[in-house]
Amino acid sequence: MAQRLVVIGADAAGMAAASQARRRRERDDLEIVAFDRGHFTSYSACGIPYWISGLVPERDQLIARAPETFRESFDIEVRLRHEVTAIDLDRREVVARDLDRGGEVRAGFDLLMYATGANPIRPDWAGGDVGGVFGMQTLDDGAALLGWLDADPAPRHAVVVGGGYIGVEMAEALIQRGLSVTLVERDEQPMSTVDPDMAELVVDAMRTLGLQIRTGLSVTGLEQRDGRVSAVVTEEGSIPADVVILGLGVRPNVALARAAGLPLGPSGGVRVDRRMRVPGVPGVWAAGDCVETLHRVSGMPVHVPLGTYANKQGRVAGINIGGGYATFAGVIGTAVTKVCDLEVGRTGLRERDAVTAGFEFVSVIAKSTNRAGYYPGARPMTVKLIAEKPSGRLLGAQIVGWSEAAKRIDTLAVALWNKMTVDDMTALDLGYAPPFAPVWDPVLIAARKAVDALAGSGR
């Protein structure tokens, strides 16, 4: 008799797992049923800011695979608008609520894939029913925001609360739509995924876009007129707003897992082993924004909610469910973003992470250009490296600059992944021609500078 795999969450991690399992096991061996409370499968939340800005004109361009494709080409049954409300591990069944028609369905499982993603943090002051306040997590959130922006009269003043990469990308999108935008950040600087000295470069660029940036400031409430937001309230007074975007980060969505008794790790995510199995709970797997994973540099469990990990982890889980063998080797936190033309890349540990992990280190900043200085279009590029003392092992890297900056972080990510020292890196055979790099690539200049700093530190 066929086994049944039930998938909770039909986006990146869940459907990567389902597709891989199907590739390895036919329908008469494995029935697959996926539940999602939303309207879509396998969509790109990462593309939402570019849909809002108008760069990507159609919502459906962000959908990689529709439910019909899963049904027809993969023989995977997808039940959208079904919210799973309980997992019963003893009876091996899930309970789901039909959000459109009402009522409850129960589905037994032999294997369970937990892929519920993360929940955006929504502070108490945003908990009411005030119109014009948006979290940004799903295509439904994007559609609701577009509806608000296109209404008559159109909003003119936006406040983005939180300066992480989603807040920054949304701020840029709203500027491009012609709104005046204020970004409010509780910390001293937005873009805390890089060190403050690198974030400063990004902040300068954001200001030149016309973005107002208020730092060291907490939002404490909202003002409203006729049920519509009219301002955000801070300790330093109100800031007018007819649309508010929340970019306050996310937490792993583990309510169901916790209630079912699945083990959670110190970062709050579901614990998994290298094959994405939930330890101690046979036949249960988890992947994506709801799990925690190993940071390969610090050795610590971390929650890093990125689409690139969700896809890879889901794939690993699916291969294993399908009877193959695959492992997820952990993360080093490589991420890229941009503010208009300014690109930002980061990998590994920031200075504060290196301190927390107990490393002794040097850090250097090297300023260079993306192309030969004489070549048209040459623009500044700043590379920061953090290297362990005395070994010289690379611990982290950050890049800020114009074209060709962000994806240069991949060179550094490969070096970091392979535990290279900055001494080794000075000899890397990187490509050179004037349109692409100066004769000494910015990465090599930074590595040389780190070697000098280590020597100067009496290593």
Ligand X SMILES: Cc1cc2nc3c(=O)[nH]c(=O)nc-3n(C[C@H](O)[C@H](O)[C@H](O)COP(=O)(O)OP(=O)(O)OC[C@H]3O[C@@H](n4cnc5c(N)ncnc54)[C@H](O)[C@@H]3O)c2cc1C
In this chain, which stretch among 45-53, 339-347, 376-384, 396-404 interacts with ligand X, using CB under 6 A? 45-53
Find the shortest distance in angstroms from Cβ 165 to ligand X. 7
Sequence-ordered strand ranges (E) for 295-426 = 301-302, 335-339, 342-348, 361-369, 380-388, 394-401
Question: With binding defined as CB under 6 A, does residue 84 bind ligand X?
Answer: yes
Quick note: the x/- pattern for ligand X over 279-318, rule CB under 6 A, is ---------xx---------------xxxx-x--------
DSSP labels, 207-259: HHTT-EEEES--EEEEEEETTEEEEEEETTEEEE-SEEEE---EEE--HHHHH
Burial of 393 (C-beta count, 10 Å sphere; 0-12/13-18/19+): buried
Is residue 339 involved in binding ligand X (CB under 6 A)? no
Closest CA to 63 of 34, 42, 89: 42
Residue 8, Cβ density class (10 Å: 0-12 exposed, 13-18 middle, ≥19 buried): buried
Q: Choose which of 38, 265, 322, 348 interacts with ligand X (CB under 6 A).
A: 38
Q: Could you tell me the smallest distance in angstroms from the CB atom of residue 459 to ligand X?
A: 36
Q: Catalytic annotation on 290?
A: no
| Smallest distance, ligand X to C-beta of residue 282, A | 22
**CB-based contacts of 242, cutoff 8 Å, min separation 6:** 132, 155, 156, 157, 158, 228, 229, 230
DSSP 47: G
56 near ligand X (CB under 6 A)? no
For residue 67, is the peptide bond before it cis, meaning its omega torsion is within 30 degrees of 0? no
Buried b (16+ CB within 10 A) or exposed e, 348-368: bbbbebbeeeebebbbbbbeb
Binding mask 217-256 for ligand X (x = CB under 6 A): ------------------------------------x--x
Q: Is 78 in the site for ligand X (CB under 6 A)?
A: no
Residue 52 CB, nearest distance to ligand X (Å)? 9
Stretch that binds ligand X, among 40-48, 65-73, 121-129, 219-227 (CB under 6 A): 40-48
20, 33, 112, 137: which one binds ligand X (CB under 6 A): 137
Q: Which stretch binds ligand X (CB under 6 A): 12-20, 235-243, 278-286, 366-374?
A: 12-20
* Rounded-to-integer distance, Cα 303 and Cα 345, Å: 19
Q: Distance (Å, rounded) from C-alpha 340 to C-alpha 201?
A: 13
Between 7 and 454, whose beta carbon lies closer to ligand X?
A: 7
For residues 16 and 314, is the Cβ–Cβ distance under 8 A? yes
CB of 293: closest distance to ligand X in angstroms? 12
Q: List Cα–Cα distances, 325 to 6, 31, 316, 398, in angstroms.
A: 20, 20, 8, 34
Out of 77, 83, 110, 197, the residue judged to bind ligand X by CB under 6 A: 83
8 A C-beta contact, residue 98 and residue 104: yes
Give the nearest distance from C-beta 452 to ligand X in angstroms: 34
Tokens of 440: 């000494």
Tokens in use for 81? Answer: 């608008």
Does residue number 13 form part of the binding site for ligand X (CB under 6 A)? yes
| Between 295 and 449, CB nearer to ligand X | 295
Residue 8 beta carbon to ligand X: minimum distance, rounded to whole angstroms: 5
| CA atoms of 185 and 216, how far apart (whole Å) | 6
At its nearest, how many Å lie between ligand X and the CB of residue 166?
5
Q: Which among 3, 39, 44, 46 is annotated as catalytic?
A: 46
18, 32, 49, 181: residue in contact with ligand X (rule CB under 6 A): 49
Number of residues in contact with ligand X under rule CB under 6 A = 33
Piece of the chain touching ligand X by CB under 6 A; list 38-46, 153-161, 363-371, 447-455: 38-46
For residue 168, state whether it binds ligand X (rule: CB under 6 A): no
Spatial neighbors of 395 by CB under 8 A, at least 6 apart, are 297, 348, 349, 354, 359, 361, 386, 387, 388, 416
**46 counts as binding ligand X under rule CB under 6 A:** yes
Rounded to a whole number of angstroms, the minimum distance from the CB of residue 331 to ligand X is: 11
Q: Taking every pair of C-alpha atoms in the chain, what is the biggest distance, in angstroms?
A: 71
Q: Cα separation of 296 and 290, whole Å?
A: 19
Q: Which residue, 269 or 401, has its beta carbon nearer to ligand X?
A: 269
> Which of residues 253 and 368 has its CB atom nearest to ligand X in the complex?
253
Judged by CB under 6 A, does residue 8 bind ligand X?
yes
Residue 11 within binding range of ligand X, rule CB under 6 A: yes
Query: Of 14, 56, 10, 62, which is closest to residue 35 (Cα–Cα)?
Result: 10
Q: Which of residues 97-126 bind ligand X (CB under 6 A)?
A: 115-118
Q: What's the rounded Cα separation, in Å, for the pair 275 and 226? A: 52
Could you give the residue numbers annotated as active site?
46
Q: List residues binding ligand X (CB under 6 A).
A: 8-14, 35-38, 45-46, 48-49, 83-84, 115-118, 136-137, 166, 253, 256, 288-289, 305-308, 310
